[in-house]
Amino acid sequence: MKAIILDGICKSFGTPPVPVLENFSATLEAGFTCLMGQSGIGKTTLANILAGQIAPDRGKIIGNADKKVAYVFQDDRLLLWETALSNVLFVTPQAKKNTPRAIELLTQAGLAESLHKKAAELSGGMKRRVALCRALISTYDLLILDEPFKGLDETTKPAIIDLLRQNVPPEKIVLCITHDPAEATALGGNLLRICNGKPDQ
């Protein structure tokens, strides 16, 4: 898997424009990269640019043109009227074929007893686990996780970190946004800090 290179990415918002990212350059290699920084510093903006949700004002991204992206947003974006299992299978073109894998992931996430519960009936932490399983079963080259452990208690979090480490192939590129140094340490991989719109060396 070729790396993704962020070259001089700039992004501003508002009138007059307020810079959020200023000449941000970094290389994302295969494996986990944990992006850390204060709230409002531009972490989600950078993730959205990588995912093609928004365009940079200046700069370019090299190596992502043909890459499929899976994205776990800060909000879970589940179909509340569908079951946990149906939500995970929603991203798969051959649902029946992928059902055993979806059940396996949900079971690993501690949701074996909730496969057929509607998403609206699940707690916040359970919804978060469903959203993660949905991303893991999808076809992706780049996996973006925006605060993926939000709402998980301290007992559940280590199990979900293990779920990610066990089910993300080593050749995939993963960008994980977190505020918690302990989460970054547990995931392993590279640490990328952002400060004043640039990588904090």
Full 3-state SS string of 67-134? CCEEEECCCCCCCCCCEHHHHHHCCCCCHHHHHHHHHHHHHHCCCHHHCCCEHHHCCHHHHHHHHHHH
Q: Which domain does 78 fall in, by range?
A: 4-199
pLDDT on residue 200: 63
Full-model pTM: 0.92
In tens, the pLDDT along 63-76 reads 888 889 999 998 89
Q: Which residue has the tokens 């949701």?
A: 111
**Domain total for the chain?**
1
> From the first residue on, what is the mean pLDDT of each consecutive set of 10 residues in the chain (201 residues)?
89 88 92 88 91 92 89 92 94 81 96 96 95 94 94 91 94 92 88 75 53
In tens, the pLDDT along 67-109 reads 899 999 988 999 999 999 999 998 877 767 889 999 999 999 9
Task: Give the whole-angstrom CA distance, residue 189 versus residue 168.
Answer: 13
pLDDT on residue 201: 53
pLDDT on residue 198: 63
Contact 200, 43 (CB under 8 A): no
CB-based contacts of 189, cutoff 8 Å, min separation 6: 31, 32, 33, 34, 174
Domain of 27, CATH number, reads 3.40.50.300
pLDDT on residue 125: 93
pLDDT on residue 110: 94
